[in-house]
Structure 1
Amino acid sequence: MNLQTINENLGRVEISPEVIEVVASIAATETKGVHALQNNFASGNFEKLGKKYRGKGIKVDTKNDTISVSVYVSLFSHANVHKTAVKIQKNITNSIKNMTNFEVKDVNVHIINIKS
Structure 2
Amino acid sequence: MAERGAGSSGLPPGYLSAAGSSFVDFLGQEAAHLLPAKGLPAGSGAGLAPHATTVVAASFPGGVVMGGDRRATMGNLIASRDIDKVFAADEYSVVGIAGTAGIAGELVRLFQVE
TM-score, normalization: structure 2?
0.24
TM-score, normalization: structure 1?
0.24
Higher radius of gyration, 1 or 2: 2
Higher RCO (C-alpha 8 Å, min separation 6): 1
